[in-house]
A and B are shown apart, each in its own frame.
Chain A
């Protein structure tokens, strides 16, 4: 289903939950609404579902305004954060519910339920009650139930929040695969950036009720359009006095500009590791933390603290070691503008040709 949202606004009492949100979603895409908790993601999702009224703005499905349609008539499937399974019904009855209220015939219901049980890998659990299932299984039942009436849009509210980390990974890729196979337009809400990056075709970053940026995960990482987005996606440190760092001296031309530096922008090593020592700073190692597959190194350059990762294959650093630090680039921002700046000294100013 093609979805368009224009100028969406929602207030709860005095609290402005959603402000001027507008976007368009192509058919068959999987969209992640990403942002901090309480940022308005779920409100947007619930307005799309018709569970919350719209104060201002339009929601269009296939070019038709659906603002005044009740949830029953929107042709959507909704997976709730806590699954909201019907406790007094078996798995099969839960899945069949939407079909029964739509007055499907008995044999057709049976066939569809069997199909979904198969699809979601719940064979053998049809007669169980929700409280007899694990979290992951409940999630699948919720998913099967939402899909049963063949909705054109699937909405998922924090679908993996209540599942432990290990199974969450499995379920994520399972969901991705399932949605690809069915080709159903889907929108899911999450506050977990890894989840959004891993699963979604496109991410919409929502903060304080506003849509900060919409794009593919790579676009958003590479080219964040606001300091919030830059800080939210990936890890980063904010550096107040960036002009003191070598290679970024001309930042002082823009007063009030700060920098956001990601660990992957920073390289540490002995002086022999770098071709252009003039672009590097001398710093000290403050702490090293083992992170399972790499070292997380905290370094101090003058009064600036930076963080970077270091391969386990390289020589082990110790707190207090003197190291050379190369900052490849920084994401700069001030009140009016934001842009990415490469280290000016990285390119050899006086190349020597032999």
Chain B
């Protein structure tokens, strides 16, 4: 009897701690942002949103994040494929290096890109000769976003490829399917849930990226100023409402994506 009571108290205590932790760390700050953005009334909020520099920054961020996500879907899927399906020297090292963008401070990533693509670097000069600049222009932002979100798609696709049975492919061959047909009709549909959920996470991370981007973007308002840097700028110039308004937009976007990822994964599990 007493052990039962004890067990119940334990579980009650654990649950309360977790819920409290969750509230203090996640729920309250988020509610705070929503509350703060509306603290000077609805009109102030909409004024800050329709401010051209604000919505241009949000729009630019979304556009570049979409491009970065598409690039990662392609490269990430290919990388996952190569890392799982091929055996070559250095494969394990390469595989462990995939997570590097997660471990690295994003400012360091930004610095790396800055040095790599700068006007005096080999790549920078070469691009200059072809007639376009990468650094402080949109391509640099996309590169920074691709770099920091690189692991998502790979890590989402890898387990699916790993658990996929070789006999499913062989079955397709014995039924007369060519290698290409087998890839499109059997292998790709197996990887698709991973590609999609990886892409969603990569997209929401790209939307939020600050450290890597701020160093390489140039941050020209209306041209290369992305949302997170805009928020930083607004705070610096003491316009909290402007910062929270854009934050709320980004936050809502992230929530929608997170919810979609969960939905996709749940459908995969049940369907």
Hey, which bits of chain A sit against chain B, CB under 8 A?
A: 49-51, 70-72, 74, 76-78, 80-82, 84-88, 97-98, 101-102, 129, 145-146, 148-149
Cβ < 8 Å to A, chain B residues 31-85: none
Give Cα A88–Cα B194 distance, bound, in whole angstroms.
14
Give Cα A49–Cα B173 distance, bound, in whole angstroms.
10
Give Cα A51–Cα B175 distance, bound, in whole angstroms.
12
Interchain residue pairs with CB less than 8 A apart (20): A50-B174, A72-B173, A76-B174, A77-B174, A78-B170, A80-B170, A81-B167, A82-B167, A84-B165, A84-B168, A85-B168, A86-B168, A86-B189, A88-B189, A97-B177, A98-B177, A101-B176, A101-B185, A145-B175, A146-B174
Residues of A within 8 A of B186 (CB): 86
Between A81, A84, A145, A149, the greatest number of chain B beta carbons within 10 A of the residue's beta carbon is seen for A84
Is B190 within 8 A of A98, CB to CB?
A: no
Give Cα A51–Cα B172 distance, bound, in whole angstroms.
11
Cβ < 8 Å to A, chain B residues 147-200: 165, 167-168, 170-178, 181, 185-186, 189-190
Leading 5 A-B pairs by shortest Cβ distance: A98-B175, A84-B167, A78-B174, A84-B171, A101-B177
Is B178 within 8 A of A101, CB to CB?
A: yes
CB < 8 Å neighbour of B181 from A70, A101, A148: A101
Give Cα A208–Cα B176 distance, bound, in whole angstroms.
32
Is B173 within 8 A of A51, CB to CB?
A: yes
Give, as a whole number of angstroms, the nearest-CB distance from B224 to chain A: 42
Given contacts A101-B181, A129-B271, contact A84 B176 (CB under 8 A): no
Is B175 within 8 A of A101, CB to CB?
A: yes
Query: Closest chain A residue to B174 by CB distance?
Result: A78
Give Cα A78–Cα B170 distance, bound, in whole angstroms.
9
Give Cα A50–Cα B173 distance, bound, in whole angstroms.
9
Give Cα A97–Cα B165 distance, bound, in whole angstroms.
17
Is A51 within 8 A of B174, CB to CB?
A: yes
By secondary structure, the A interface counts as loop
Residues of B within 8 A of A88 (CB): 189-190
Is B173 within 8 A of A70, CB to CB?
A: yes
Give Cα A23–Cα B214 distance, bound, in whole angstroms.
73
Residues of B within 8 A of A82 (CB): 165, 167
Is A97 within 8 A of B185, CB to CB?
A: yes
Hey, which bits of chain B sit against chain A, CB under 8 A?
A: 165, 167-168, 170-178, 181, 185-186, 189-190, 271
Is A149 within 8 A of B190, CB to CB?
A: no
Residues of B within 8 A of A148 (CB): 175
Give Cα A85–Cα B171 distance, bound, in whole angstroms.
8
Given contacts A80-B170, A84-B167, contact A72 B190 (CB under 8 A): no
Residues of A within 8 A of B175 (CB): 77, 97-98, 101, 145-146, 148-149
Give Cα A51–Cα B170 distance, bound, in whole angstroms.
7
Residues of A within 8 A of B181 (CB): 101
Is A98 within 8 A of B173, CB to CB?
A: no
Is B165 within 8 A of A149, CB to CB?
A: no
Give, as a whole number of angstroms, the nearest-CB distance from A320 to chain B: 52
Is B171 within 8 A of A78, CB to CB?
A: yes
Is A84 within 8 A of B271, CB to CB?
A: no
Given contacts A84-B167, A87-B190, contact A49 B174 (CB under 8 A): yes
Is A71 within 8 A of B178, CB to CB?
A: no
Given contacts A87-B190, A88-B190, contact A80 B177 (CB under 8 A): no
CB < 8 Å neighbour of B173 from A71, A85, A102, A129: A71
Give Cα A339–Cα B175 distance, bound, in whole angstroms.
46
Residues of A within 8 A of B171 (CB): 78, 80, 84-86, 145
Give Cα A230–Cα B168 distance, bound, in whole angstroms.
37
Given contacts A97-B185, A129-B271, contact A84 B170 (CB under 8 A): yes
Is A149 within 8 A of B168, CB to CB?
A: no
Given A80-B170, A84-B171, A86-B172, 9 more pairs with CB closer than 8 A: A51-B170, A51-B173, A72-B173, A72-B178, A80-B167, A82-B165, A87-B190, A101-B185, A146-B174
Residues of B within 8 A of A71 (CB): 170, 173-174
Give Cα A241–Cα B189 distance, bound, in whole angstroms.
64
Give, as a whole number of angstroms, the nearest-CB distance from A138 to chain B: 13
Query: Closest chain B residue to A98 by CB distance?
Result: B175
Give Cα A49–Cα B176 distance, bound, in whole angstroms.
12
Give Cα A71–Cα B172 distance, bound, in whole angstroms.
10
Give, as a whole number of angstroms, the nearest-CB distance from B54 to chain A: 43
Residues of B within 8 A of A78 (CB): 170-171, 174
Residues of A within 8 A of B170 (CB): 51, 71, 78, 80, 84
Query: Closest chain A residue to B182 by CB distance?
Result: A101
Is A149 within 8 A of B167, CB to CB?
A: no
Give Cα A88–Cα B167 distance, bound, in whole angstroms.
15
Residues of A within 8 A of B174 (CB): 49-51, 71-72, 74, 76-78, 146
Is B176 within 8 A of A98, CB to CB?
A: yes
Give, as a whole number of angstroms, the nearest-CB distance from A258 to chain B: 42
Give Cα A145–Cα B190 distance, bound, in whole angstroms.
19
Between B170, B178, B271, the greatest number of chain A beta carbons within 10 A of the residue's beta carbon is seen for B170
Query: Closest chain A residue to B165 by CB distance?
Result: A84
Give Cα A145–Cα B174 distance, bound, in whole angstroms.
10
Give, as a whole number of angstroms, the nearest-CB distance from A44 to chain B: 16
Residues of B within 8 A of A85 (CB): 168, 171
Residues of B within 8 A of A77 (CB): 174-175
Residues of B within 8 A of A87 (CB): 168, 190
